[in-house]
Chain A
Amino acid sequence: MQLDRRKFLGLSAAVGATALLAACTPQQSAGSGGGSAFGNLPDYTPVNGPTPDIAGDLSKDILDVFTKFPANPPTLVSDVPGDGSEITGVIFISDAGAGPSMGNNAFWKNANEQVNAKLNLTSIVQGQDSVTKVQSLIAGNDLPELVQFDLKFPQLSGVLPAKFTDLTEFLAGDAVKEFPNLAGIPEQYWRGASFGGGIYGIPLVFGRMNFVMQTRADIFEKMGLTPSVSNKQDFLDLCAALTQPSANRWAIGNARGTLNYAKEMHGAPSVWVQDAGKFTHTWETDAFVDALSYVRDMWSAGYMHPDSFAGNTSLEQLFAGGTIAMSGLSSIYDMPYYLENYTKDFPELRIAPMAPPEYEPGKTIKTGYPGVYSLMAIKKTSDKERVRMLLRVLDWFASPFGSTEYLATRYGVEGVDYDLKGTDPILTSQGINETKVQLQFLARSVDPLYVAGRPEAAETLDSYQRQVAPFLNVDAAFGLQSATFDRKGAQLTAEMTDAQNAVLQGRRPVSDWKGIVADWKKNGGDAMRGEYEKSFAAAPWN
């Protein structure tokens, strides 16, 4: 006990008064709603990158578009960020599997050399596995310096202040200017990194358009279909036409993605919606119940791949291989990812995003995403120089599109991992394999829409984003604090997902849903609502 207190005093200099307060009162979750829960966030200074072919507008969720990689990319970070030491970390693994280890990975070794550090990273599977792994690292007091956190991690607002560095003094306000690429992350994303008044990580930005329904344009064309639907029946007809089990093909293959598209078709919001300070969860809406029974019918009609509910199937393989013709679990950056990584194996691969139809005449909803995929947190330390060095390394990884750093973080080494076709870096087989180690998960800039070697694909994505961006619906609870969510969020979500799957697969009647939601409200749903409403009222951006 005494030793701990002394340790605390030693650290207090580094962590600031708020964090100390939060750490000393662990039972009370750090930001259970007071105004002090929201600290100073970093100022946004856009990075001076190359001029896009079609300029976007981040305030309207429209991303820049590049049809070609800029010629003669500049090097943006002039100083060497690292000090030659080893940096340990835990990052998420890609769906495509683990890439080669550092010793056999030219892409990784090159990044080490460029930042002048030995990035000793362990890859873990995002979701349950990452939670259990990081929990045991915390329990065993064996944390690496950098940890990628899922925002659904249990007790995040307790864990971060207790075990990780408050970056406020390094990043808040104009302090972030020391790290110009991190300053290029807009303020709204930093809200996800703010806990109990401190900044506890670098948000990994993945755009705000989530669950983009992607279609295999080549398969559609071969079958004389068009990837566009104007009402609920259209989509069912499309599914019926695409489903040919005897040819080993199903229309769609993922329960979550399918349900999400159905939510859009029926007008159910993304997660929480706020109206005049009152919060409602999508589960409570009639539109959600309609979406449930819609997907339930799709499942019983056999339009969905039989393994749609099994967690252990690789959606990527099914979609790239054409076993499923549509896939709904993707960010807007997934289409570039598929095309850049799978065209080699599947040369016929063409993808087109499909906007949701109006759910009522004149009304459309596109479920969005707060845009923060995860947080990169730095283990608690009183060594400020070390923190600065780590932030410089992360800043290097956040270099924007069009720079030599970007080529190194996404494409690797020229002539080894990629070959230039014109100015476009085309991944080689070795590059595809090596970049499975997701170094970009350390930190990312706000990426434009770009597909190496496929200028028309970027344009397709651009027309899609312009079509749906005005209807983007994002979780209203993002950046707000709820002690109940912290405590029971993971458990309640798991229970609801299980109940939801039971309804979708026909194990429970749709009429059960009301009771399921009533249980959820009683077990914490209503408490969360109250806390979010209180936190919302205190939020400075409101």
Chain B
Amino acid sequence: MPQTGEPVVLERTVPRPTTRPAEPEADPEAPAPPARRVRVRARWRRDWLLLAVLGPGLVLLVLFNYVPLLGNVIAFQDYQPYLGIENSTWVGFENFQVLFSGDARVTNAVINTLIISTIQIVVIFPIPLALALLLNSILAERIKTVVQSILYLPHFLSWVIVVSIFQSMLGDAGLVNTWLRSIGADTFSFVGNPDTFLALVTTQSIWRDAGWSMILFLAALSAVDQQLYEAAAVDGASKLRQLWHVTLPGIRGMIVLLLILRLGDVLSVGFEQLILQQDAVGLAASEVIDTYVYNNGIVAGNWGLSAAVGLIKGIIGVVLVLLANKAAHLFGERGLYQS
């Protein structure tokens, strides 16, 4: 909060509707509009640089996030790229029927998505937190930095490379199995096996991204006041008690924030990672909503139908974020924004 008397929090430019009569000390001489203009001008003079810096980002946001939203109209069309939006036939809600008609492929995709998503939230989400807590307990700064770097570097490998690494290391014809064969031992089938597909994608996700997500928690951890630990230690709290009573409450805001964002993505479980491995394990195990939209829409040419599925997915995502945010407010957290 700034030290000057000037409030930075957004002021309402429209006077608050009030049943009370205008208070005498509210400067009855000055009519409201000019006063507002002065204030706006003053704020503009103060903030123009910040706004200018924000400009390019805003343009990109509008151009690449908001303008494409208009393309969602093809969900109500039998859209064909060669006809364009203006010449494609309008079909109303026909494309949405597939969601409610019990289409086997859609059902399969939705179920797979929910399963993978649940695993991501229950299994994968806590791992970076655990890593961060472990790493935070290492005192030697050098070791800490080295471990941190090793853990987050895989994040910079694209999925194509990650998938290839897993296949050439753990695949049936990969390094480990080839070695096992050469010594006459039994081999295992982990990659390209529908039964182990969930375990495989989970392992890949953890290996690639856990280190990266850990950094956010590390940042939050560094913000916890050291005096609290000292006070807790003086009161005789064990390390475990300190973790429970100081560390976790200290980073609760960050945990809730990330969880809300994750919930909004509950129907997106990663596209590249899955599509790259789809041939080997088949659609039954690997088709999720995003790959369905791609396979059915862009590859097979059912654009409108895929757009409809994608649109519903987006709407559900927004609703979930809002609900989770509401819940966070109820528990006294800040969430994504304040109400």
Contact = CB atoms under 8 A, between A and B. Distances in A.
B205 to A, nearest CB: 19
Given A246-B182, A491-B296, A507 B284 contact: yes
Contacts of A312: 163-164, 167, 276, 279
Contacts of A398: none
Contact of B184 (A136, A246, A323): A246
Nearest to A160: B82
B86 interface: yes
A131 B82 contact: no
B107 interface: no
Interface in A495-542: 495, 498, 501-502, 505, 507
Interface size class of chain A, counting residues whose CB lies under 8 Å from the partner chain: 35 or more
B172 A162 contact: no
B181 A307 contact: no
Interface stretch (A151-159, A411-419, A458-466): A151-159
A131 B299 contact: yes
Interface string B200-229: 000000000000000000000000000000
Given A27-B89, A505-B282, A306 B192 contact: yes
A4 B87 contact: yes
Contact of B301 (A141, A307, A487, A505): A487
Contacts, number: 101
Interface in B122-175: 163-164, 167, 171-173
A311 B192 CA distance: 11
- SS of B interface (majority): helix
Nearest to A305: B173
Contact of B167 (A154, A245, A248, A307): A307
B242 interface: no
A310 B172 CA distance: 11
A24 B86 CA distance: 13
A246 B181 contact: yes
A26 B87 CA distance: 9
A494 to B, nearest CB: 6
Nearest to B195: A507
A128 interface: yes
Point out which of A154, A310, A490 has the most chain B C-beta atoms below 10 A from its C-beta.
A310
A257 B80 CA distance: 33
B330 interface: no
B207 to A, nearest CB: 18
A245 B82 contact: no
A9 interface: no
Contacts of B294: 132
B83 interface: yes
A126 interface: no
B173 A507 contact: no
A1 interface: yes
B184 A307 contact: no
Contact of B82 (A1, A128, A163, A501): A163
Interface in A1-45: 1, 4, 26-27
A162 B88 CA distance: 13
B173 A248 contact: yes
Given A131-B299, A132-B298, A487-B301, A507 B282 contact: yes
B283 interface: yes
Given A135-B81, A306-B192, A498 B283 contact: yes
Contacts of B184: 246
Contacts of B250: none
Contacts of B299: 128, 131-132, 154, 490, 494
A307 B172 contact: yes
Contacts of B276: 312
Given A132-B298, A494-B299, A494-B300, A502 B86 contact: no
B171 to A, nearest CB: 7
Point out which of A158, A162, A495, A498 has the most chain B C-beta atoms below 10 A from its C-beta.
A498
Contacts of A162: 82-83
Interface string B301-326: 11000000000000000000000000
B279 A311 contact: yes
B35 to A, nearest CB: 49
Contacts of B173: 248, 305-307, 323
A51 B300 CA distance: 46
Contacts of A311: 278-280
16 contacts: A27-B78, A132-B298, A135-B81, A155-B301, A158-B83, A162-B82, A248-B181, A307-B167, A307-B172, A307-B173, A309-B280, A312-B279, A490-B299, A491-B301, A495-B105, A502-B282
Q: Shortest 10 CB-CB distances between A and B: which pairs?
A: A154-B301, A306-B172, A311-B279, A491-B300, A139-B81, A310-B280, A138-B81, A490-B300, A162-B82, A159-B82
Given A135-B301, A490-B299, 15 more contacts: A4-B87, A128-B299, A132-B299, A136-B81, A155-B80, A158-B82, A158-B83, A163-B82, A248-B181, A306-B192, A307-B280, A312-B276, A498-B283, A498-B284, A501-B282
